[in-house]
Amino acid sequence: MNVLIVYYSMYGHIHRMAEAVAEGVREVPGAEAVLRRVPETLPPDVLEKMGAVEPQKAFAHIPVATVDELASADAIIFGTPTRFGNMCGQMRQFLDATGGLWVKGSLVGKAAGVFTSSATQHGGQESTILTFHTFLLHQGMVIVGLPYTFAGQTRIDEITGGSPYGASTIAGGQGERLPSENDLAGARFQGRHVAQIAAKLNG
């Protein structure tokens, strides 16, 4: 069973979460996790000014996703940073190229989930995932979130990401905060949960 993890990461936070999601997927017998990045849309000089060139070298080895790979996957988990309470432009542009899949119904019935990050604790994580869900519904996919059986999202002893809609992390205004162990645990849980649901859907 092929679980595709498609993400965009500018400074590495979503990449680290994607790795944790993949770890969770691999805990399910017979499930293979495949990591893919969506194409970059910003020119190199802009990325340089944003201080993103060096951080992106850490995951430059991850292949760039193609739309056709979505159709061949048994389940898909998407990762995007928050941009004003919505997905980033790079992810939006990639998804806008999936019209051919929609016409054919290629994604109908596939399990799908979303994880995210934001600079601040209340920076639009939930709205980013919820607005992403509209794409999944238009494609006929089966939305899988992060249930409260992941007890880490009820913690009040530390600042943490995670909601019933999906795993998340808080990056900090300067990207100085890396995903906490609890954030990563939520990502692993969601990866495992999506893979388990996909296994049931695929019989």
What pLDDT, in 10s, does the model give residues 25-84? 999 999 999 999 999 999 999 999 999 999 999 999 999 999 999 999 999 999 999 999
d(Cα 3, Cα 5) in Å, to the nearest integer? 7
d(Cα 3, Cα 26) in Å, to the nearest integer? 9
Residue whose entry in the numeric block shows the structure tokens 């194409």: 39
d(Cα 170, Cα 172) in Å, to the nearest integer? 6
What's 153's DSSP letter? G
d(Cα 56, Cα 44) in Å, to the nearest integer? 11
Residue 84 annotated as lining a ligand binding site: yes
CB 39 within 8 A of CB 94: yes
Residue 13 annotated as lining a ligand binding site: yes
d(Cα 110, Cα 101) in Å, to the nearest integer? 12
* First-last CA distance in the chain: 11
pLDDT band at 203 (very low <50, low <70, confident <90, very high): confident
Residue 83 annotated as lining a ligand binding site: yes
d(Cα 156, Cα 79) in Å, to the nearest integer? 25
Question: Quick check: helix, strand or coil at residue 202?
Answer: coil
pLDDT band at 174 (very low <50, low <70, confident <90, very high): confident
Q: Report pLDDT digits (tens) over 104-143.
A: 999 999 999 999 999 998 899 999 999 999 999 999 999 9
Mean pLDDT of 72-100: 97
- Two structure tokens written together for 161: 């990401």
Write down the architecture of domain 2-201 according to CATH: 3-Layer(aba) Sandwich (3.40)
pLDDT of res. 176 = 85
- Residue 127 phi/psi, 5-degree rounding, is -70, -30
Burial label for 83, CB within 10 Å (0-12, 13-18, 19+), is middle
Residue 11 annotated as lining a ligand binding site: yes
Please, what is the average pLDDT of the chain?
96
- Ranges of each domain in the chain: 2-201
d(Cα 201, Cα 188) in Å, to the nearest integer? 20
What's 40's DSSP letter? P
User: Is it the case that residue 9 has pLDDT exceeding 90?
Assistant: yes
Residue 102 annotated as lining a ligand binding site: yes
pLDDT of res. 173 = 81
pLDDT of res. 155 = 92
Q: What is the secondary structure of 25-88 as a DSSP string?
A: HHTSTT-EEEEEEPPP-S-HHHHHHTT-HHHHGGGTTSPBP-HHHHHH-SEEEEEEE-BTTB--
pLDDT of res. 7 = 98
